[in-house]
């Protein structure tokens, strides 16, 4: 049987990466494999979500007589389940759960990592068929292996992430993850049910022509943010433009597009929500890690996102992320009041 060696699956890639890491145990590869498995299961349900009259609404019973769960609860259960039953994760923090969950079985207590995730970000877009996604960040636990994980394992600065990534359930389903060695994208090949390397060594272009922001909140933004948006709107061919505004209300889709093509995504604080809407631990930190490894930048308007000292699991943060030259222009506007 001829093996197609040109197609590198996620598992083959993560195992290959081990060769570059002395005394690696393979636990991180195992954790990423577990995430890939949960993503495939979520992908099946997300793709069927349009068939609501077959699936029924959450709380109803489907044709197989199974209780239908809201898709984000379903996604949360999938990621929590595979990470709990794997050998690499000591506990999780999820957008869907009030508090972090430390797994107390002996195998999980011996695990090296904890994982923070938003199981299905943008799920409000499902019924209008807009791309949605899962976002995750992986940390090495700081408490002793063998003990049950505790709060300090989950509330670490973003700089402490050993890996971060996202799955985008869109025109195709992609898993993109970063370690300090680089950012790589894998597209799900339904014919073999594997994520296969399709976007090796992703780099964020130093500049771009796309700016992403919710204009509906414009008059609530900081003066510096309004000044930068005004500059974006006035760009011409001679000043690096014209720019286009792209914002689909699904962070994974907006940031993924800007990561590949170059651009800037902004979710600023507003008068009503000074801390903005996005969550630090499982939306801002993972994307900040990914984009910085790819050569971009991410701040909360005052400091680097990855340097923010977290105080609670679900804390929010303003978010500015993207191509480094565009971020520099924004920072200039924000520093000049
Ligand atoms: P708004 C989705 O609900 C989400 O958390 C992000 O995916 C998205 O970027 C943002 O909210 C959109 O928020 O207030 O612009 O509708």
The ranges of the chain annotated as CATH 3.40.190.80 are: 210-336
- Tell me yes or no: is domain 210-336 CATH 3.40.190.80: yes
What count of Cα atoms within 13 Å lies in the side-chain half-sphere of residue 179? 13
Tell me the three state secondary structure of residue 9. Answer: strand
Ligand 1 within 6 A of CB of 43: no
Tens of pLDDT, residue by residue over 288-318, are 999 999 999 999 999 999 999 999 999 999 9
**Domain boundaries 10-199, CATH class:** alpha beta
Buried b (16+ CB within 10 A) or exposed e, 157-167: bbeebbbbbbb
Rounded to two decimals, the pTM is: 0.93
Binned at pLDDT 50, 70 and 90, residue 40 comes out as very high
Ligand 1 within 6 A of CB of 215: no
Q: Atom of ligand 1 at shortest distance to CA of 254?
A: 9
In this structure, are residues 281 and 151 in contact, taking their beta carbons and an 8 Å threshold?
A: no
Tens of pLDDT, residue by residue over 184-228, are 999 999 999 999 999 999 999 999 999 999 999 999 999 999 999
Residue 65: the pLDDT is 55
Closest alpha carbon to 44 in 64, 74, 85: 74
The ranges of the chain annotated as CATH 3.30.540.10 are: 10-199
Distance separating alpha carbons of residues 210 and 217, to the nearest angstrom = 18
Residues with Cβ within 8 Å of residue 165, at least 6 apart in sequence: 32, 35, 135, 136, 175, 176, 177, 178, 286, 290
Cα(122) to ligand 1 centroid in Å equals: 6
């Amino acid at each position: 049987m001829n093996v197609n060696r040109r197609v590198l699956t996620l598992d083959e890639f993560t195992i290959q990466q081990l060769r570059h890491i002395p005394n690696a145990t393979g636990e991180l590869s195992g954790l990423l494999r577990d995430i890939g498995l949960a993503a495939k299961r979520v992908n099946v349900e997300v793709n069927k979500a349009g068939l609501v009259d077959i699936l029924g609404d959450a709380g109803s019973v489907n044709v197989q007589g199974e209780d239908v769960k809201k898709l984000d609860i379903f996604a949360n259960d999938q990621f929590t389940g595979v990470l709990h039953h794997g050998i690499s994760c000591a506990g999780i923090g999820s957008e869907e759960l009030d508090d972090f969950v430390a797994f107390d079985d002996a195998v999980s207590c011996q695990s090296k990592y904890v994982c923070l995730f938003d199981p299905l970000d943008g799920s409000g877009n499902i019924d209008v068929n807009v791309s949605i996604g899962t976002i995750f960040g992986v940390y090495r636990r700081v408490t002793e292996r063998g003990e049950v994980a505790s709060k300090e394992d989950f509330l670490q600065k973003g700089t402490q992430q050993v890996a971060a990534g996202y799955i985008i359930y869109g025109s195709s389903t992609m898993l993109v993850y970063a370690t300090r060695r680089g950012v790589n994208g894998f597209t799900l090949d339904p014919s073999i049910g594997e994520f296969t390397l399709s976007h090796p060594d992703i780099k964020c272009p130093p500049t771009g022509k796309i700016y992403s922001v919710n204009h509906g909140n414009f008059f609530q933004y900081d003066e510096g943010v309004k000044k930068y948006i005004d500059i974006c709107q006035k760009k011409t061919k001679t000043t690096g433009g014209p720019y286009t505004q792209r914002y689909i209300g699904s962070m994974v889709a907006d940031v993924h597009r800007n990561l590949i093509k170059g651009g800037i995504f902004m979710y600023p604080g507003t008068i009503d929500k000074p801390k903005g809407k996005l969550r630090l631990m499982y939306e801002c930190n993972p994307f900040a890690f990914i984009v910085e490894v790819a050569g971009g930048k991410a701040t909360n308007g005052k400091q680097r996102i990855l340097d923010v000292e977290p105080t609670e699991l679900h804390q929010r943060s303003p978010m500015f992320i993207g191509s480094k030259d565009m971020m520099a222009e924004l920072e200039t506007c924000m520093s000049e009041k």
